[in-house]
Amino acid sequence: MNAITPASERLVRVPLGERAYDILIGPGLIARAGKEIAARLKGRRAAVITDENVAPLYLDALIASLQEAGIQPSKLVLPAGEKTKSFEHLMAVCDAVLTARVERNDAVIALGGGVIGDLSGFAAGIVRRGVRFVQVPTSLLSQVDSSVGGKTGINTHHGKNLIGVFHQPDLVLADTDVLNTLSEREFRAGYAEVAKYGLIDKPDFFAWLEANWKEVFSGGAQRIEAIAASCQAKSDVVVADERENGPRALLNLGHTFGHALEAATAYDSRRLVHGEGVSIGMVLAHEFSSRLNLASPDDAKRVETHLKAVGLPTRMGDIPGELPPAEVLMDAIAQDKKVKSGKLTFILTRGIGQSFVADDVPSSEVLSFLREKHP
C-alpha cells in the first residue's frame, strides 16, 4: 500500500446499480445520521434496533439525530450476544417494525454489532417483502465485514447463519468514534477480519498491517485507512459476485473451521467470539493448505506470528475449556452452508494473498488434520 494520507473521513461506494449505496467512515457520524439518512431515503419513519450494551452509549444520540432531521423513530432494545440471532428475536424485531408502521420507503436501522445487523437486516428483508435498511455498525468486526454486502440471517441448532436472505443496506455509517469504547478483546476480534482481506488477495495490505497494526489499534488515520481498505475490498468482491455463486466465497477464508469451533462452544462468547474463531480458522486454513502441499509452511507460520502478535488466539488449544472430539467438529463442517452437493468446500491458499476456492476437499483429509490439531 502507499503511504497514508491523513483523512478525517472516507467514502466507499458499493456500485450495485439501482441498489448502490455509500459507506461513510469517520468520526461523529452518529450525530449526523439523521441528516445522511434523510438525504438518501424518502420515508420519514424508522425502527431502530439495538442491544443492551450499545443502547446506553449511543441510542439517545441517534434518536435525537433522527428527530432533528424530521424522521420519526421507534426503538427496540434486545439482549446482547450471539444467542439473540434466533427465531424468537426475529419475530420480536418484525413485530416492532410493523408496530412502528414502517413502510417500504421507511427504514429499519441497525445500531450495533454483527448480531444486531444480521438480525435487523433479515427482518428488513422480509417485512412487507423488503423495507429500507441502514447499518450503523458499532464494532470493528461489523464495520469491516458484516455491515457490508447484504448477507443477513439467524442461527439454529444446525449451525450459524443457515437461515437468512440477501438484503443490501441503503447506507452504512461507520462511526470510528464508537470503536474507542470497545474492549481490547472486541477490537482484536474485529481485526481478524481486517487481516483476512490481505490474506485473500492483497499481500501488500497484509504487509502494511504487519508494519502498522499498532497504529490501527491506537486510532487516527491508519485506523480509518484500514477500515476503508477493508470495506473497499469487500465491496469489490460483492459487486463481482453478490450472491456468493463464485469468488465471493473467498470472504469465508478461515470461516469453515471458525464456524465449527463456534458451534463446538455453543456460541458462548466467554469462550470464543466470531473474530477469534476466524483467527484460528485462518491459521488452520494455511496449515491445511501446507499439509496438502499447496503452500509453504512458512506462510502459515507468518500468519500465526502476526495474529498472535496482536493478541488473537491461533490454536484450538487457546480456546478455554474442553472441545468435543474431532469427529463432532467434522459434523459441524459438513453442515456448514459452504457445502455443495455433499462435497466439502474450503478456502485454501497457495501463499499470502493467494487464496482460492477448493470445491472437492476429501473429508478424510480434513478429519485427519483436525485430529492432528485437536488439543
- Which sequence positions are flagged as catalytic? 129, 151, 193, 234, 244, 248, 252, 255, 259, 274
- Where does 73-183 have alpha helices with state H? 87-99, 114-126, 140-141
What phi and psi, each to the nearest 5 degrees, are found at residue 166?
Answer: -85, 120
- Is 138 annotated in a binding site? The answer is yes
- State whether the Cα torsion 223-226-227-229 is positive or negative: positive
CB 59 within 8 A of CB 49: no
- Is 204 annotated in a binding site? The answer is no
Grid coordinates representing 24?
461513510
- Is 99 annotated in a binding site? The answer is no
- Is 95 annotated in a binding site? The answer is no
- Is 117 annotated in a binding site? The answer is yes
Count the Cβ atoms, other than its own, within 10 Å of residue 8.
12
Strand partners, 156: 159
- Is 274 annotated in a binding site? The answer is yes
- Is 115 annotated in a binding site? The answer is yes
- Is 60 annotated in a binding site? The answer is no
- Where does the chain have alpha helices with state H? 33-38, 60-68, 87-99, 114-126, 140-141, 184-201, 203-218, 221-240, 255-264, 274-291, 297-309, 326-335, 363-373
- Is 347 annotated in a binding site? The answer is no
Helix, strand and coil in the chain, % to nearest 5 = 50, 20, 30
Residue with cell 487516527: 220
Strand partners, 359: none
- Is 298 annotated in a binding site? The answer is no
CB 310 within 8 A of CB 217: yes
148: nearest Cα among 162, 131, 167, 124: 167
Count the Cβ atoms, other than its own, within 10 Å of residue 318.
14
CA 61 – CA 43 distance, rounded (Å): 20
Grid coordinates representing 346?
474450503
CB 12 within 8 A of CB 228: yes
Q: Are strands 45-51 and 154-156 parallel, antiparallel or unpaired?
A: unpaired
281: nearest Cα among 343, 198, 373: 373
Residue ranges at the known binding site for Zn(2+): 193, 255, 274
Residue ranges at the known binding site: 114-118, 138-139, 151, 160, 193, 255, 274
Residue ranges at the known binding site for NAD(+): 114-118, 138-139, 151, 160
